[in-house]
Each structure stands twice: as structure tokens, then as C-alpha cells.
Amino acid sequence: MNRHRVHSEGSLGPDDEVMPYSDDETDDELEVSSEEEQEEESRDPQPLDEAKPSEMGWKVKANDRPYHQLPEFKKKVFLCFKKSRYSGNAIKTYKYNVLTFLPLNLYEQFKRVANLYFLALLILQIIPDISTLPWYTTLIPLVVVLGVTAIKDLADDLARHRMDKEINNRKCDVLLDGRFQESRWRNIQVGDVVRLKKNDFIPADILLLSSSNPNSLTYVETAELDGETNLKFRLGLRVTDEKLQEVHQLAEFNGLIECEEPNNRLDKFVGTLRWDGEHYPLGVDNMLLRGCTIRNTEACHGVVIFAGADSKIMRNGGKTRFKRTKIDELMNYMVYTIFVLLILVAAGLAIGHSFWYEEIGSKAWYLFDGKNQSSSYRGFLSFWGYIIVLNTMVPISLYVSVEVIRLGQSKFINWDLQMYYAEKDTPAKARTTTLNEQLGQIEYIFSDKTGTLTQNVMQFKKCTIAGHSYGDPTTAEGVVLDRGRPVDWSWNRQADKKFDFRDHSLVARVRSGKDKDANEFFKLLSLCHTVMVEHKDGDLVYQAASPDEGALVTAARNFGYVFLSRTQDTITIREMEQEKTYEMLALLDFNSDRKRMSIILKFPDGRIRLYCKGADTVIYERLSPNSRHKETTQTDLDVFANATLRTLCLSYKDISTAEYDAWSQKHKEAQLVMSDRDAVLDRVYEQIESGLMLIGATAIEDKLQDGVPETIATLAKADIKIWVLTGDKKETAENIGYACSLLTDEMQIHYGEDVNEKLRLRQANRRNETQTFSRGKKKPAELFFPAPGKNALILTGGWLNEILYEKKKKRRRLRLRRLGKRAPPSNPLDGQPMDDWEKEMRQIDFVDMACECEAVICCRVTPKQKGNVVSLVKKYKKAVTLSIGDGANDVNMIKTADIGVGISGQEGMQAVMSSDYAFAQFRFLQRLLLVHGRWSYIRMCKFLRFFFFKNFAFTLVHFWYSFFNGYSAQVTYEDWFITLYNLAYSSLPVLLVGLLDQDVNDKLSLKFPKLYIPGQQGLLFNYKNFFISLFHGIFISLIIFFIPYGAFLQTMGQDGEAPTDYQSLAVVTASSLIFIVNLQISLDTSYWTFVNCFAVLASIAIYFGVMFDIHSAGIHVIFPATFTFTGAASNALRQPYLWLTIILTVGISLLPVICIQFLYKSIWPSVGDKIQRNRKRYEMEMEEEERKKPPTFQRGGRSRRSAYAFSHSRGYADLISSGRSIRRRPTARAGAQESIREVPQRQAENI
């Protein structure tokens, strides 16, 4: 079944190639962005001066630090205190210092309701009339909890201190007192002139003044900002390049830069340099941004414009949000529920005490305590007494136990060798310890494309030349093989030995020189490009505007057509060991509208030829009717595109001298046009780029990271939906969608116009139905895609704004401000939102539609739009989200999502610095979620269920005992047992279950992704589970109290003594509780290790050891007031009758649990139960599968897609044509190049 599309070509709507900055656009930009608004203004009688752009409010004076401290540049901080509006260059991510750690950390800890509650309890226990337990029963656990948490917070903050110190103490040359001095980053200020050397990190946002390269050309690596490894160039102004080369000239520089306020727009900068009475315009090409690295430039100079928190990379980070898991929120609500239960129970028992004292206590002479207190007052005191006695219903050690478990889970992630990437020596890293169990509940994943799904490495895979397809494994004679050997490039000493190509027949044809088409094909690739070359120690280093360009020039090089050098008007290549120089008459660069580039060359023999390469759709429109091989090439293009390769058509045209002279005159005139120059040039280009002759086409593979398709398929089986949010162009993103199996041929794809129309119709229907359904009532939502089959959305940033009314909102706000009156209400027919409610409903509709789809791809989106999309899903779907990316443009969505994951090792570290988890390859995500995330969720849920159960079972014994002690708030157990129960007697086994338990092993977790679904649905820990734990605790507490109570009634011990004393009852109930709790956790343990077994036995042993010790006569002699149960344990536990009572209590408590578990696993087994039952069989099957080695992912499909291999940014054509890249004193090129190489991809470095 072929895939169907809903096309939106030719529609009136946003430009798919333009990346909008809707949320960051200034009012001035919006002012000229809407023709409709301009027309409205022309009709409005308001004076024009009201619409003037606002002045640029950021002023920087070079080499003048006092200037920036003037009063006009101060801003109020607090009351009358002011500070400079210009940030220093130091960054601060730590929370505490030596003085603030203790008070601030205690303040933060006591913001937790449970800690504050126990502090209040401690104060109550000091009051003699209320206290029913010694103060130390609360103080010791509270100090332990606060201490452990404080140590953990201190360790985390020390790591932040070290990171900040490392970055702030980096060195940089700053111009001070007339000479360059080494200074630390933290001491750099706005207006300072700095010198940067090759491979230096850029410390702030800097205006480039001059460099060691001609015309101040400076190469920068922007991997930290956009995840792209290809180098970009930046240029200084001609005037600063000519006048600011020497140190004394830089020291005298006093220019004033007026520019835009600090913002997060990475590809935009507007400013003016005022110097020597002249004004010079500044743009983003003049800026060196913090986070980039200087490459292939010996030295450059610049003046600091934005420092520290004002720099674009820091502004682009988005708001840091405090992230909490769903279980955290649920746990807090449950603690509040326990508070309410505690108050209700204490109030009921206090009322009981009032009635009891009125009826019985006041009339019994032997209960007279010498206090003349009314029954109501005694009931009031009893209430507070029971609050203290029953305080263990709110488990004080709960939070610290949870933190310990999370810390352990984080270490397991860090230590997982299967998530270690040996090639880059990069282990997985859990950068937070508070979100592990949330990894087991992910419903939506938002992923970047470049550097996250792909390697950002382009590889020349196949081609078609004169109707013949090449690239499959083939011998030199043309025999097709199943698996061929790579071509041996030893015949070409200038070849890139890493270039992998397996079609020996094409190499043989090119080397023979008999196939003119093949030779022309590779000659075109070596000549028609904007790649720049630099001579370095006898080597050639290529600088390509995009990885595609580099891959094509490298392919030509390996086939014997080596690009050697270029000047402003010549290109020199080596053709099969013969060096030739071609005169470059014109270079017609690529842009997103043309989708092609051309070069016009004059051959050594005087011929003039145009070479053109571009997208198949635009090349085929311009082919001559006499062009051959169109049909066969089209067929090959279909095959390449269905294999998700990026295709590019190559063509040529011979031009007569007269034709060129006539066109050249038009070209020169177009270059001088002042208004709309680009459009005029495009029309001139169109005239010469016609009547082309087709040579063939290339097919480049945008290499996916290893295991990406398998990972996406596995996550899809776990019911996790993946959305791709990228700044790349639509065609590229769509092809990667097919390559990684996110999109399939069976899916119906919907584009922006179709989506907008569906949402408009839904909105119109809603308006018509407002009389039937009021706004308060929700009508059952109808499906947007009721037809069977799978759907996918592909939207651009412009359509996203159109759909969500982002730009409309700002335009109306601008109009309101400028006109000084309320904007007229929207017409229901114009598609505008009537009010905020309609805007919200529109957003809900969009989210509902997107969530109905199997896949969503948003391309050409800004960093802020990425964050907004994540926010919409979080807000309206209440879903747990995860964002994964590798560049600074992904930081916003990483911080917005519930979980942020950074890809480390390939590109920069900015995304990693803002992430919660980091690893080197996308494929590790399935292990993070399906293994570590699922285990963490199961462990935490099991831990919490059992923790609540054991505390209810322990505490509610006091409740039953109160019926027999006149509701007097007397405790059932001995004081030290209450103190140590949660700390020593029952904590270790449940803690180890929270750390080590697993229902199935990691391989089975990956084999059966459906095991992940209960976590998404929150089935393992919710209010239902909480109340089951509560009733289980009530049941156990009943048995623990009443069976010993019944056994103690009218009994006689073996030695004739009746074991009916209070101390013996306390010992028997406490011993029964310890056995039940430790055996119950044993029943709940799925994964037994030696440590678990030891913990259970050790907990019981510790209980008896400590009990016999504190009941001994020796310790009573030392502390007679504290240890009052002298000899109680030894006296009670030598009675066989009481041991029988303990055994009976334990048996009756555990037997129902065993029966229920047996019935559930037999009659209603879960997916996990079924897999556990057949675990051995599945493991054997997996071993067999590993031996057979399953086939790797095969690219391919049946449908045709447009895909062209170009960067979505302009190339170096302007730079080449201007001659600004040509050195003033060119060095002689070596006659024989020893080796030619491309810029190697460097390992990511931490900024």
C-alpha cells in the first residue's frame, strides 16, 4: 500500500524554509511583517512618528571600564541599592557558600512538611504534660535524616563549585594598560578588548575587530550552539581590519557600539559602531559567540559586548525549573492524607479519653494523680499525646530512604558498561539523583535530529552517471556481488583512505579515461562548490559550508579529481595527475529558494561552461529537450530517495562568448540594485540556468547513529511516542524520519496547511455549537483522523506559529499599544481567536490531533518553539515527557521536559550541562528507559508500598491498645524499640529491595517492551495501592495486638508464673512485628541475592541483640531512668508458650498474603508474571538468536520523496567572490601534496 500525502505546495502560508523567531521578534520586526497591518496603519490618522523603532538601548565603549559604571547604566536591585546593568563574566550555578550552607540548607529541608512536622513534635515532647515519649525518640531520627540529606546536598554543591571554578578561572589575554595581559574569564568586563588564539574557547559574546587571516576572516566551530561540526566563518569590518592590527592601535580604539539588548537569538544581531565620526552597521557575521571555539585562525581580536549571564548561550538556556517526579507529588499527597488520618484518629481517641475519665477514671481512687484537671482538658492533653504516639504513621525516614535509593539507582546508571561508548571514552552519567523512577513513566520523547539521531557525518554512497547506476558491491568487470570488498585507493596517493566505496567498476571506468560522462561527473564535483581550502604543513584542509559539500568534494578527490586551491577568480584541480586551472567567471550560490548552485568557468582552451547541481525537481524543470537519460536517471533517483539517501542532480551547459557577455552585463547591473537585490539576482540567474544537459545524480547518506531505527521501533512497542523537533529543513527532516523508521510508507502524512484547515473547521464548529454546549461543559472530543490507518504530522516553525496564533497575538498587542485604543473584536470568519479561551482550545485541539498521530516532526523551529511544544504536551496531556538533544539550541526543551537527556561526546557540552542524564549515543535511550527506568519505578513503588505498610502495622497497635488503657496515650512498645524500629530493625531489607529488586533481567526487559506500560499508567503506586497498604497494615496490627492479648488472658506459665505483665506483652508484640515485617518483605522480593538474605537475617539478629542488651541489668544500673525494661526480654522469651504465640501470630499474618499472591499469579497473572514463569525458555531463545546474528536494518521503501543534499544555510560564495578569503601574501603551494585531509571531528570539549 503506497503512502498518501496531503500536499501544501503553492498555498498561501508561512515559508517552510524560514525559521521564525515569533517569541523573540521585536516590535519593529513585527511592524513590517504584516502587510495587512501596514495597510491598516496607512488608513489610520495617527501621526507616523509614533511608529518609529525604539532606540537600541545597549551601549558599549571599548577600552573604557568606568564608562559602564555611570549612573545612567545602573539598575535598582533592592530599595536604594543599585548595580550596573552589565553582567560580569563569571557564571554561578552553585547554591551555597561557607556562611549560607547551614541556615539555607536547613531552611530548604524544613520546607518539607514532614520535617517541619517532626520538629513540631520534638517541641511538643519537651512539654511534660503532653509528652508520652522521650524526646530522643524523635530527635535521633530527625538528626539522622537532616544530616544525610545535608551531606548529599553539600556533595552536589561542591561539584557545582568545582565546575564553576574551572570555567571562571580559564585564561584569556585582555588589553589592559596598553598591553595584553593574561586574565581569568571571571575578570573580563563589557568593553574589554581581548585576544583569542587558535582552539581557544570564546569567553563572552565578542565583536570581531581583526584577525591574523586576510580581511579578519575567522573560523569558528559552533557545535556548542547548534550541534553542527562544520566550520562557520566570521568577518570583521573592513575599517577595523585595516586600522586595528597592532597592539597600540587596539589600545587607542575608543569606538562606541550601540546594539540590541541581550537576547537569545543565536542567528541575529543588529548594531552600529560609532568611531571617528562615522557609523558602521554590525550584523551577526561580525560576532563571536560564547560557547564557540576558534579554529584555523592563529589569532583574532575583539571587544566584549555581552558577558556572563547576558551572553546569547546563557540567555538561550531557558528558565531552570525545579523538577519533581509524579511519585514525589503523589507521595506528598499521601503524607497529607496520613496527617488527616492521624488528626482524626487522635481526635477520636481524645474524645474517648474524655468520656472514659468522666465515667471511670475520675471515680477510681487508685487512678488519682493529684491533678485537679477537668475531663475536657485531659482529653485535650490526650489529643496531643496521641499525636506524639502515632507520629510514626508519618514515616520520618521515608524521605532519606528515598534519597538513598535514588542515589544508588544513579550509580547503577553511571556504572552500566552497556551504556559506555568506548570510541569516545564516554560513560553514561546521571547528573541528577531525584528523577530515576520518572524514567519508567515516559509517554512522549522529543528529540533533536542533527547529532542526536544522526552522526552529522555525510557519506557518498551511490551515484547514477549517464543512465548507469553505481554504488552496489561490484567487481571491476561489472559483476554484482552480495558482499564486496572496499576499493583499494593505493593507486591514488592523495585519496582519503577512510572513504568507503565498494563498486570497483566505476573506479575502473574513471581510471580508464574512456567514459567521458564519468570523467565529466567527477570534474563537476571538484569544481562546482563553495568549499575553501587551506594549506597546512604540506596538507590541504577543506572548509565546507555543509557536510554534504565536503562529502562530494572528498568523493571527487578519491576518484582522481582533487580540488587544490582557489583564488577570487580561479579554481585549480588535479585531474588524474594533471594539474589544471579554470577561470571562474561567476558563482551562483545556493539558497533555500533556488535549491541549486551553479558556477560558470572558462576552460584553458577558451570554452565557457556552466556547471549546475541541485534538487531534482528544480534541475529537471531547466533541462534541455535534447538532454538524454532523463527517464533512467529519474528511476535511479526514485531508488536512491526510497533508500532515504540525499540526492542531488548534476548538469552542465556550454555557453557562447556572446551569450555570456550579454548575461554578464545584466548580472553586474543586478548586483548594483539597492532594493530587493536578492530577488533581482535570482531572476538573472534563472536566465542563464536553462537548457541544461543532465550528467547524473549523487546519493549521500546522512549517517544515522548506530541502532537508531531499532531503538525507535522498540520504544514504539513500549507505547512511547517520539516527536522530532529540529531546526533543519523539511526535506532533510522528513528523510531522516524514514531512515530511522519513525515514518513508514503506510502512514498518511499531513502538512501545515492541512493541519491548519482541520483546526479551523473544528474551531468554526465549536463556535456554531456554543448555544448547545456552554463553555463550562466539555463535549466529547471527536477524532481528527477517524479513518483507519496511521497518520503523521510534518510541520514547520512558520505553520506552528500560524496554528497556535503566536504571531497574531503579538501583532494585536502591538496595534493596541501604538493606536492607544482597544483593538476591535475579531471576526469569527477570519480564523482569529475571539479570546484567550479560544486560543487555549485551539492549542488543545492541536495537541489532541498530534497525539492521535504515530509520529510528529516539527522542522525549522526555534529553540523557544521547541520548549513551547513540550510545554503544550505537558500542560494538556498531563503526560511525562523526555527531551533529548546535543546542542545549545536544545537546552530550552531539555529544561522544559520532565526529563532532559544530553548527548555527550559527539558535539558540544552545553546540552549536557543542562541535562538530567547524559550519554554518547541515542541507542542507549532504550536501555535507560526500558531497563533502568522500569527497574527504578518498580523498585520505588514496591519500596513505598511496603514502607507505608510496615509503619501502619507498627503504629496502629497503639490504637488497639488504647481501648484497654483508658485512651491514656500509653505506648504498647518500649521506648527504644520505637526509636530504632525504622532506623535499624526494618530499614535494611526494604532499602535493598528498593535498590536491587528486578522482576526480569535486562535482556528480557528489552525483549518485551510491553513490560514498560504499567509504569506509564501509574499502576504500581497510586491511591488504590496506598489504601491496600493501609488496610493490610490495619489487618496486621489487629493480629499483632489481639493474638498476644488473647494468649495472655487467663494463662499460666511453665514455671507457674503468669506472663501477663505489660513488659512481656510489649516484647511479644514487638518480636512478632519484626518477624512479620522481615518475612513479608522476603515474600515481596523478586530478585534474591546474598545481600538481601543477609539483610533479613541481620535485621532480626540486630533486633534481638539490641533488645537483650537494653533489657539487661548492667545498662539499667548505668541509666536507671532511661532503660526501665530490666530483664523483660530474657524473662518473656524463655517461655515456650510465648514463642508459640509469636509463631501463631506470624503464621496467621502471612498465610492470607501467600494465598492471595498465589491466586493472583495463577488466575490473573500480569505480563511480568508470565515472562517470569517462562524465563528459562526465553533466555534460551535469546541465546540462539544471538548466535544467528539478526540482519542489520535495511533502508528502503516504495514511495518517492524529494531529497537534496545541501546545507540549509548559505555557502561561502559571497566570501569567495569578494576575494576576502584570499591571503595578501599567498604562499607557494607544494608541487606534490603528501596528504589531503578534511578537518577531523574533534572530541567534544566542556565549555
Q: How far apart are CA 264 and CA 309, in angstroms?
A: 11
Q: What are residue 339's DSSP bridge partners?
A: none
Q: How far apart are CA 622 and CA 685, in angstroms?
A: 12
Please enumerate in sequence order all residues whose Cβ is within 8 A of that of 503, keeping only pairs 6 or more positions apart, or say none.
470, 471, 472, 473, 474, 484, 487
**Contact 382/349 with Cβ under 8 angstroms?**
yes
Closest CA to 124 of 372, 386, 399: 386
C-alpha pair distances (Å), 108 with each of 153, 895, 1034, 1233 = 11, 22, 34, 65
Helix (H, G, I), strand (E, B) or coil at 957: helix
| Other CB atoms within 10 A of residue 627 CB | 18
Q: Phi then psi for 871, rounded to 5 degrees?
A: -60, -40
**Contact 298/227 with Cβ under 8 angstroms?**
no
**Contact 958/971 with Cβ under 8 angstroms?**
yes
Place of cell 571554578: 165
Sheet holding 596-602, edge to edge: 468-470, 454-465, 693-704, 646-655, 608-614, 596-602, 578-588, 570-575, 561-566
Task: Take residue 813 and report the three cell numbers written for it.
Answer: 498587542
At 1138, which amino acid appears? L
Place of cell 475519665: 357
Identify how many contiguous H helices and E strands the chain contains and give both numbers: 43, 37
Say what angle helices 326-359 and 375-389 make with each other, to 10 degrees: 150
**Contact 236/215 with Cβ under 8 angstroms?**
yes
**Contact 752/795 with Cβ under 8 angstroms?**
yes
DSSP secondary structure of 630-683: HHHHHHHHHHHHHTT-EEEEEEEEEE-HHHHHHHHHHHHHHHT--SSHHHHHHH
**Contact 439/924 with Cβ under 8 angstroms?**
no
At 209, which amino acid appears? L
Q: How far apart are CA 552 and CA 640, in angstroms?
A: 16
Question: How does DSSP classify residue 1072?
Answer: H
C-alpha pair distances (Å), 1217 with each of 219, 285, 589, 728, 962 = 18, 17, 10, 27, 94
Helix (H, G, I), strand (E, B) or coil at 69: helix
From 16, 200, 448, 616, active-site residue: 448
Burial class of 1139 by CB neighbour count within 10 A (0 to 12, 13 to 18, 19+): middle
Place of cell 563498486: 503
Please enumerate in sequence order all residues whose Cβ is within 8 A of that of 757, keeping only pairs 6 or more positions apart, or say none.
none
Q: Across the chain, which distance is largest between two alpha carbons, in Å? A: 130
> Left, alpha or beta for 500 (phi > 0: left; psi -120 to 50: alpha)?
beta
Task: Take residue 1028 and report the three cell numbers written for it.
Answer: 491496600
Beta strands in 691-812 (DSSP E): 693-704, 721-725, 748-751, 791-796
Q: Phi then psi for 302, rounded to 5 degrees?
A: -160, 165
**Contact 1182/566 with Cβ under 8 angstroms?**
no
Closest CA to 679 of 584, 597, 591, 617: 591
At 1005, which amino acid appears? S
Assess whether 448 carries a catalytic annotation. yes
Q: How far apart are CA 22 and CA 8, in angstroms?
A: 22
Q: How far apart are CA 146 and CA 110, in angstroms?
A: 9
Residues catalogued as catalytic? 448
